[in-house]
Structure 1
Amino acid sequence: MTFWIVTGGLTLLAALLIGRSLLGTRAETEAAERPDIGIYRDQLKAVEKDLARDVVSAEEAERLRTEIKRRILDADRAGGTGTREAPRWLSRAVAALAGLGIILGAYGLYDLLGAPGYADQPLSKRHADAAAMRAARPSQEEFEAQMPSSPPQEIDEDYANLMRQLREAVKTNPDELRGWELLARNEGRLGNLVTAHAAQRRVIELKGSNADAEDYLTYAGLLIQAAGGAVSTEADWALNGVLALEPSNPVARYYAGLMHLQTGRPDQTFAFWEPLLRAGPADAPWIPIIRARIEGVATLAGIRYTPPPTPASPHPEFAPAGPSAADMDAAAEMAPEDRQAMIQGMVDQLGERLASEGGPPQDWARMISSLGVLGDRERAAAIWAEAQTRFTDPDHLSIVRDAARALGLTE
């Protein structure tokens, strides 16, 4: 209420000042605008004082008075522009309309650009609120409970038997690292993400201080997939593990930016995403998503920003298959679980095509980068190994190598 009283008083004061100016008489206006007349009047007073002190004679005083009065008349004639004072009723009408326009315009502009009904939010308070939001996020289990159930995948009977044996093996030998690694990888391929990330967590526990960035990134990817794209506290912990070992890891930095966006810190999101957008590579799967959202993120953060133009492909002879810019814009507006399903579906389709028909090196690079985003670095490493047998031309292989290097699969 105090805000409205103060702003209302200031707006009314501004309207009254303008109204007073409009309603002032022409004489008042001229008096304020004709300093030369005032100077001549002061000179007349000075002549009278000089005459009283016998500084000048009566004749000289009269001559000076006549000269000064002549100058006053000349100045008055020169200042006269031929304009007439407006009728009083018209001045009042204009003053009323101007005051009403100021009041309505001010409140209309505030309604459009301001936040009526909201208290002021200093930067420190917003940061504190974001920290509280981050701490109060739903747990991984709560995120997963909100996800729709997916039908089980149909798999070969031999593969199903191997999975049953693997599950029994880790129960029998809970400290056997290799068994948990195989279980995490294969449960992830089957879409059993909850079981997969639990197995990957066990891998990290068994490795202890020997766990590397890839272990943490795989765990984070599985958690985020299982939560439909939400970054839970557990996934946040895993991402911190990646960035502590590899601060420039692009996949971890993308997910870290996403986490900050979900917890009310678009400024931190911008700090993570803008360098990724500049660094590329242009065909990395996170680049179209960042490009579609970076301007909105900058606006939320109060940053003036124009994204760089989309770079042309260094190998225009290859036309990579994949989503269009419109597809990625649509993906940015999807619910997290729908967006994740879209990405997974595109990766599966591309993988099937590369396995059956092959494709240009840029498609292989896209496949590697996409698997990195999904947390399946082992499969990405297998794709990179196969690409090295497929492409003998160094220029073509370099396209795939760039994607593998971005995930730390090669030097």
Structure 2
Amino acid sequence: MILLWLIVALFSALVMAMLMFPLLRGEGPGTTDRAAYDLTVYKDQLAEIDRDLARGLLTEDQAAAARVEVQRRILAVAGPEAARAATGTDAAQGPAASARADGRVRLLDLVPRAIEQGPWGLATLAAIVAVVPIGALALYLVVGSPMLPGQPHAERIEQAEREALSRMPPQLRAEIETLLEVIDRDHDNARAWFELGRAYRRADQHDRAVEALRTARDLGLDGPDRPIMLAELGESMMLSEQGRITERTRQLFLDAVRIDSDEPRARFYLGMAAAQAGEPERALAIWRDLSAQTPADAPWAEMLRQSIAMVGQRAGIPPATVEPAHPLTLEAGQPVKRTELPEADGPTDGDAAPAPDAGAQMRADADRQRTPGDGFSDDEQAMIEGMVEGLAARLEENPEDVDGWMRLAQSYGVLGRWDEAIGAAERAAEQAPEDPAVLTGLADTLMTAARAEGAGEPPARVFGLFETVLEHDPLNPQALYFVGLSAAQDGDTDRARTLWGRLLERMPEDEPAYAAIKRQLDALPANGATQ
């Protein structure tokens, strides 16, 4: 507290000195120097007039008039200093130097100087001496907190940590407190730092998780846990950046797969990094390679399937046309390979509802396998919920981020929170009401939500969305199918036949949905539209 008042007194003195400076100074050297400079300029102008007259550029009358004007300006600055400058005397010596010395008024001369300057001088002096410090003190007493005890920075950090711990579940809080005690006794315990980072991740304290996991890495945590640690460090860094994967984070994931080429978390996020970088083919290749090694009941299987479907849909790339590739293979420079004809990703049911895009079959398979939001481990659940919360917060600050709203809808779908998924997809559609990809994403969300609730038919709203999609993208496969289905249900068989025929013309015959759509087309009545 004493230090604070000393600082306040010091700044008050500096401010008062700055305000008193005009009263304390005399005419100073500036006046003399300025007058000498002006006279030098005017003397040069007189010499220039004589030279112009000698070269015939000016007449006698013009030269005389010019001299009169310059001489008038000389008289305007005439005075003792100006007279000396005009006669060539050095203004920096003799009487001028004495004048400058006399101009440096001592502090004891302050009151006489203020009196010489009249009422304004006295008023200024009174304001500086009394009003400024007293007024500042009064203002501080009113709006400040003079009786508030000091709070050193270290104590504030400790208080914040205690408050954060108090909000955690008791079991998790006890685990973190135990690990902190271990680290206090043995600061170089890499294993304890690793476990502390994982505990902070479960508590959604991603910044602290990054610090702990980075310490574990720097301490040389080795063995089978090192690739896991690197992947979790990269994931925590991504979550602290609201879902963005920076190049530094991507390198952590690469380091993880270089140690363990099968590390699933790192492989998934390397695909996400490619998608964020605008490389959908690379993302699909990485994810399809991971999907081939992912058990159907793996906690991340549904998220992987939806990511493949979403990226393929947004980029207009059937995922089955992209050959799987390991991230390290692509990192070595091998290009992503595409196939001419799509390959079946697995057994399909010929009687299943037709799906014009390759991702829809994956989503249908996933829906039959488990309920969205179920089956996640604690770490996976914390990971997804942390991503959702960070993304939702960022979108509140930047509601025009269409891609962000689509990612948020996808994340809510993974958690089985369908009302929120539909709401996020609708926010995306509000920002891009004519974007076929956005409208298709909203329709997909509506249909997936309806299937999750046990509905056998697409919601009626879906058909209107695909009508709009068809207006802007006449060859969109999903729009051709669902608008044709709506026409068939309404009895407009001519339109249904036209749309489905157009769709089949653009589908390979070995596409799983081809045969089902062909059967529906053949089953249409031979007559034209009926009402």
Q: TM-score, normalised by structure 1?
A: 0.37
TM-score scaled to structure 2, two decimals? 0.30
Q: Which has the larger radius of gyration?
A: 2
Q: Larger relative contact order (C-alpha < 8 A, sep ≥ 6)?
A: 1
